[in-house]
Amino acid sequence: MGGMDGFGKVEVEQNEPTFHEDWEARVMAITRVMGANGGINIDMQRFGRESLPPEVYLTSSYYRKWFLAIEKQVVERGFVGADEIAAGRSLRETKPLPRGKFTLDDIKRIAVRGSFGREPPKPAAFEIGERVRARNINPVTHTRLPRYVRGHAGIVERINGCHVYPDTSAQGQGEHPQWLYTVVFDARELWGDDADPTLKVSIEAFEPYLEKM
């Protein structure tokens, strides 16, 4: 959504509760469990939410989006039948989750984020201080390259190791680890001459998102 206009002021709720409704908490927990047990990984989950119809995405609350995505994805991935969703109960045995039932003993495992760092398959292609361009790619599948930087030039500021590549992970095509860089852009490069001259914006860019200049 970076750079879109017209959404108005940021509205801050004072003393906001962790959840506004009990069902929000259940959706959060169910979604975490289906991820932790290897059923629907985090990248698939994100793509599921992004793939909701735009009018649904823009008008739904945060956890409503989570629910609509997870309900759709447990069916798509073969863990639950559409008829079972309609019936509101299990009608048959379906395939097991890769890591089995999620029990109380598994809680500690998800209280700390997993590691996404992987052994580098090859040396990094870019170095700190190097000027690079964000590639103008527009895949219909999942990507973490925000639209507002595509085609723009920036500077590599940090090299953050080699990480699971969301673009393939979201499609169930494996981790294909890629070097991850912090690339910083001048606001005038992104938004034109009228932009705030004191502003710099960085993204976390996987190596395939970048090209040499």
10 touches other proteins by CB under 8 A:
yes
Question: Rg of the chain over CA atoms, in angstroms?
Answer: 20
Nearer to other proteins, 74 or 156 (CB): 74
DSSP letter at 11 equals: P
Compute the distance between CA of residue 131 and CA of residue 141 in angstroms, rounded to an integer.
27
Compute the distance between CA of residue 127 and CA of residue 208 in angstroms, rounded to an integer.
14
Nearer to other proteins, 80 or 130 (CB): 80
Residues within window 46-105 making contact with other proteins, judged by CB under 8 A: 46, 49-50, 58, 62, 64, 67, 70-71, 74, 79-80, 84-85, 88-90, 93-94, 97, 101-104
139 touches other proteins by CB under 8 A:
no
166 touches other proteins by CB under 8 A:
yes
18 touches other proteins by CB under 8 A:
yes
Q: Which of 48, 69, 73, 116 binds other proteins (CB under 8 A)?
A: 116
Q: How far is CA 22 from CA 61, 150, 180, in A?
A: 14, 40, 37
135 touches other proteins by CB under 8 A:
no
- With 0-12 / 13-18 / 19 or more C-beta atoms within 10 angstroms meaning exposed / middle / buried, residue 7 is exposed
